[in-house]
A and B are shown apart, each in its own frame.
Chain A
Amino acid sequence: MSKKKNSIIPHGNYWIIYVLPALLFYVVFMAWPLLDSLRLSLFTGNNIATRKFIGFGNFVRLFTEETSRARYWGAFVHTWYFFFIHMLVQNCLGILFAVILTNATMKGRQFYQTVIFIPTTFAVLVTGYLWKLLLNPVWCGDVLSKMHLSFLVRPWLGESTTALTSVALISCWQWMGIPTMMFVAALRNIPEDCIEAADIEGANAWQLFAHVKLPMILPVVGMIAILTFVNNFNAFDVVFATENVNGAPSYSTDLIGTLFYRVGIAGQHPIGIPDTGMGAAIATITFIVLLLGVLPVLKATQREQ
């Protein structure tokens, strides 16, 4: 592109001022409290008075004690599956919708885009209630049977084989608006010339998408993959709203987010005694997993200047 103009580009000292306000908020209200809490993973217990330093004891116990290990690996696998469903359904459909919505000559785009976004504005409580009602054979069984759809009458949220997929789909339904919106932004950013050129060369819709559009929105695809990944690993509300904090039935909808909440914040019902040290250990491991997942994707999809 243009020649390097090193004399014009300022040094770090100049830029620091721009970053300072962000640093202030971030360090005081996020970084320091989080790091301080992660420090707790090296201590036992749930009580400021009786805390003891045990080094990596919590981590060891998490992976060696039978129930802890079963819960952790269960949650880990479930979370990956949850992420897989989101990538497949939420993000692929998101791209599809965005491609449709960036069609200059199509009517009703604003309406469709708003409709896609409406579930996103709802509190998860509402979504949980609505879908618990709709997926409940006790309330919906009669209506569905009359419409000759009795094969749909199952306790979708109550059977361990179907519960996780159902919850994941509900979550996709709710959050569809965000990736769609971001993909629309990205697609709109593609210069008109590129599209016209491909059109002139006789590319059909699929070729246009695969060879022109997709490569140009790759950074955004990467960004959304990262955001989905991070959000799924911290996902908690949707399980809380549709099932309970244990990841019922039989822990089949237990995610890392719910495991963390149950262990580190709320404690097992009804006693409610959390193990903050162990919770911090789970959060630390999650952080490491996320870093390991995010950094390669960042490198692969973000453009370096």
Chain B
Amino acid sequence: MVISLRRKNKHIGSHVVMCIWCLVVLFPIWVLLINSFKTRLTIYTNPFWVPEKWNFGNYSTVFKDGNFLLYFKNSLVVVVLSLALVLIVSSFASFALANWKGKASRRLYLFFIAGMMLPIKIASIKLLEIMRALGLLNTIWSLVPIYVAMGLPIGIFILTEFIREVPRDLTEAAIIDGSSYVRVFTTITIPLTRPALSTVAIYNLIPFWNDLWFPLIFINDEKQKTLLLGVTRLFGQYQTDWSKVLAVLTLSAIPVLALYLCMSKQFIQGVTAGAVKG
């Protein structure tokens, strides 16, 4: 499979490959969208084509049900706050770990990335007890510290590597000129690692937004539920009104997609701004 990368041609081969993949992606999404406009049973009589009768009732039920917007708000707060904290805290730590030589630094680095290798679910009981002791149980604030702790290993893993890529000349020149490490960090390192920061943000955005487990065990109060948790109550024990569920899930995917588009813009700007010339 030789894809021609010469700048002169029209990249027909590449377009063919990408179009095939787009089909593979967009067809199921098409199925998702059209079925959210059907009723529970008509999904199955005709799974792949547009509905005979468009049913907007699913979407309107979602909005009439006051709680959807509340769940959405809760999710948004939790995710934005957690992402902000992960980025800030892990970028400081990564900067230190990338510049700090020695055994202690290497050990700390391994300590942090070890967190990626264990399923945090196993610590659920202890975490429940901690949250209860902190009085945060049954509120959305119980989720934030856990998500930050979950996002840190990946953040440190990715950022440390990218910060190491920042040429030493730049940072050392600044130090010689008399600026503190903090200034070097904020004015040089961060802008050059914007793609990495966006990557960490996007990588963590998905599990934070779509997490079902911790909201499930921490939160019982209707008003504090996150979006996905609130929505899964639509899955009855044996009856699942999939048309409604698909409508809600489509709506809940939109903010994530929007957040992704924002972050990927940052990502691309960062890449072109900080393009490293050898």
Q: Do chains A and B touch in the complex (CB under 8 A)?
A: yes
Interface residues of A (CB under 8 A from B): 1-2, 5, 8-10, 12, 14-16, 18-19, 21-23, 25-26, 28-34, 36-38, 93, 96-97, 99-100, 103-106, 108, 112-126, 129-131, 133-134, 139-140, 143, 173, 178, 181-182, 185, 188-189, 191-194, 204-206, 208-209, 219-220, 223, 226-227, 230, 233-234, 236, 257, 260-261, 264-265, 276, 279-280, 283, 286-287, 290-291, 294, 302-303, 305
Minimal Cβ-Cβ distance residue in B for A302: B161
A-B contact pairs, 25 of them (CB 8 A): A5-B172, A8-B175, A12-B100, A14-B181, A15-B97, A19-B108, A25-B148, A30-B120, A30-B152, A36-B126, A105-B7, A114-B260, A121-B253, A121-B257, A129-B242, A140-B47, A178-B203, A181-B199, A185-B195, A185-B271, A204-B2, A208-B5, A260-B121, A264-B122, A265-B121
Q: Verify A194–B278 contact, CB threshold 8 A.
A: yes
Most-contacted residue by chain B among A15, A193, A209 (CB, 10 A) = A15
Which residue in B115, B154, B161, B256 is a CB contact (below 8 Å) of A219? Answer: B161
Which residue in B47, B157, B206, B245 is a CB contact (below 8 Å) of A133? Answer: B47
How far apart are the CA atoms of A185 and B24 in the complex, in Å? 24
Sorted nearest first, the 9 A-B pairs with minimum C-beta distance are A33-B123, A18-B96, A191-B278, A22-B93, A29-B149, A33-B126, A30-B149, A290-B117, A15-B96
Q: Verify A2–B169 contact, CB threshold 8 A.
A: yes
| B21 CB contacts on chain A under 8 angstroms | 93, 97, 112, 115-116
Asked if B41 is at the interface (CB within 8 A of a chain A CB), the reply is no
Which residue in A22, A25, A37, A182 is a CB contact (below 8 Å) of B145? Answer: A25
Minimal Cβ-Cβ distance residue in B for A266: B121
Knowing A99-B5, A119-B25, A134-B28, the reply to whether A223 touches B161 (Cβ < 8 A) is yes
What does DSSP make chain A's interface, helix, strand, loop or mixed?
A: helix
Q: Verify B168–A36 contact, CB threshold 8 A.
A: no
B31: min CB distance to chain A, Å: 6
B267: min CB distance to chain A, Å: 7
Minimal Cβ-Cβ distance residue in B for A3: B172
Asked if B277 is at the interface (CB within 8 A of a chain A CB), the reply is yes
| B18 CB contacts on chain A under 8 angstroms | 97, 100, 108, 112
What does DSSP make chain B's interface, helix, strand, loop or mixed?
A: helix
Asked if B32 is at the interface (CB within 8 A of a chain A CB), the reply is yes
| B172 CB contacts on chain A under 8 angstroms | 2, 5, 8
How far apart are the CA atoms of A103 and B165 in the complex, in Å? 22
B87-127 interface code vs A (CB 8 A; 1 in, 0 out): 01110110111111110110010011111111111111111
Knowing A19-B96, A28-B145, A261-B121, the reply to whether A205 touches B4 (Cβ < 8 A) is yes
Knowing A34-B122, A291-B114, the reply to whether A126 touches B93 (Cβ < 8 A) is no
How far apart are the CA atoms of A92 and B200 in the complex, in Å? 21
A207: min CB distance to chain B, Å: 11
| A19 CB contacts on chain B under 8 angstroms | 92-93, 96-97, 108
Most-contacted residue by chain B among A33, A93, A257, A290 (CB, 10 A) = A33
| B176 CB contacts on chain A under 8 angstroms | 5, 8
How far apart are the CA atoms of A105 and B175 in the complex, in Å? 39
How far apart are the CA atoms of A125 and B22 in the complex, in Å? 21
Q: Verify A30–B115 contact, CB threshold 8 A.
A: yes
Minimal Cβ-Cβ distance residue in A for B6: A205
Q: Verify A230–B116 contact, CB threshold 8 A.
A: yes
How far apart are the CA atoms of A130 and B5 in the complex, in Å? 35
How many pairs of A and B residues are in contact by the CB < 8 Å rule?
Answer: 270
| A118 CB contacts on chain B under 8 angstroms | 25, 29, 257
Asked if B219 is at the interface (CB within 8 A of a chain A CB), the reply is no
Known contacts A14-B181, A123-B210; 4 additional CB pairs below 8 A are A96-B17, A123-B253, A230-B117, A261-B121
How far apart are the CA atoms of A302 and B158 in the complex, in Å? 11
Minimal Cβ-Cβ distance residue in B for A191: B278
| A260 CB contacts on chain B under 8 angstroms | 119, 121-122
Minimal Cβ-Cβ distance residue in B for A234: B119
